[in-house]
Amino acid sequence: MSKSYVVIAEVRDGKLRQVTLEALQSIGLAKEHEDTVAAVVLGHQISNIAEQLSQYVSGQIHVVDHKDLEFYNAEIHFSVIKEVLDTLSPHAVFLGHTASGRDLAPMIAAYLNAGQLSDVISIEKTESEVRYTRPLYAGKAFEQKIFTEGPQVITIRPNNIAVANISDAQAEIITVEYSPPLSLRTIVRDVIRKTSGKVDLTEAKIVVSGGRGVKSMDGFKPLQELADVLNGAVGASRAACDAGYCDYAMQIGQTGKVVTPEIYIACGISGAIQHLAGMSQSRIIIAINKDPEAPIFKLADYGIVGDLFVVVPLLTEEFKKA
């Protein structure tokens, strides 16, 4: 019997987040041929999102378009999602391992009486089962999990699953009516986002990060220049945030954001385990540190022993020429 797989799409600033496509790709890896895939997308003025999604989903796209859904609100979004899920009876629900995905997943799992698996980085299907891999102990170990029964709720770490080219899939778009009960009217009027630049840190392909070695707020300027040339984002260690050199929105690590870019450039960062928890899965790690014994060099694919205030501007100049 075919099973129903559902992805909860994520929209930010009127754009579909890349992690939604990665979640759809994950479903492709986990499902059987005859299983169906549906997407649920909530927001305001999102007809273009539904069109975009229809290129990746071969089943149904449930669109709930209302001004109260413009900004994420756990109570309101969950109340809508559970109504849509009632019509779909899903075998599995996939979300991004993002702030809202992490918020919604346990609520959905409790509602469906499902098992939940968070922060999945890869999926492998054998003849008899689907194995989900996720990191443990701040990325020092990995575990593989299988579901033996019941519905499943899974969050996917951004930037880990490659998205295949657009297929010729054309989904059926279903408009879901929503009239919010007075008790659930939204009180969010605006979202003021603290970001380090134009590129979202968790979705950036290149991240240039600064640590205590950056020494001041001004010390981040050469890092921002390098990130701009590479179309990347700027991150930071907690020590740099604690020292007031940058905003906590930029913190990467165990108590900050988790990033998995193609290239991570660590500048003046020693490589404490709590920092590695947020970036050790990056494809290529480049460390710039004046201490040749800095632990970050044990993890780095490329290491530059030197003063970051000399090395970073040199890199920026070289990349400008490229």
**Contact with ligand FAD (CB under 6 A): which of 98, 270, 280, 316?**
270
211 touches ligand FAD by CB under 6 A: yes
Token couple for 188: 């969010």
107 vs 272 by CB, closer to ligand FAD: 272
Distance (Å, rounded) from C-alpha 312 to C-alpha 310?
6
309 touches ligand FAD by CB under 6 A: yes
Total residues at interface with ligand FAD (CB under 6 A): 27
State the nearest-atom distance from the C-beta of 207 to ligand FAD, in Å: 13
Distance (Å, rounded) from C-alpha 44 to C-alpha 77?
12
**Contact with ligand FAD (CB under 6 A): which of 213, 232, 235, 303?**
213
239 touches ligand FAD by CB under 6 A: yes
Distance (Å, rounded) from C-alpha 4 to C-alpha 57?
12
240 touches ligand FAD by CB under 6 A: yes
Write the single-letter amino acid at 56.
Y
State the nearest-atom distance from the C-beta of 298 to ligand FAD, in Å: 12
**Contact with ligand FAD (CB under 6 A): which of 25, 26, 196, 251?**
251
Beta strands in the chain (DSSP E): 4-8, 11-12, 15-16, 36-43, 60-65, 92-96, 115-120, 122-125, 130-136, 141-145, 152-156, 172-175, 206-210, 233-236, 263-267, 284-289, 302-305
Contact 109, 137 (CB under 8 A): no
**Contact with ligand FAD (CB under 6 A): which of 26, 155, 237, 280?**
237
- Footprint on this chain of ligand FAD (rule: CB under 6 A): 211-213, 237-240, 251, 253-256, 268-270, 272, 274-275, 278, 288-291, 294, 307-309
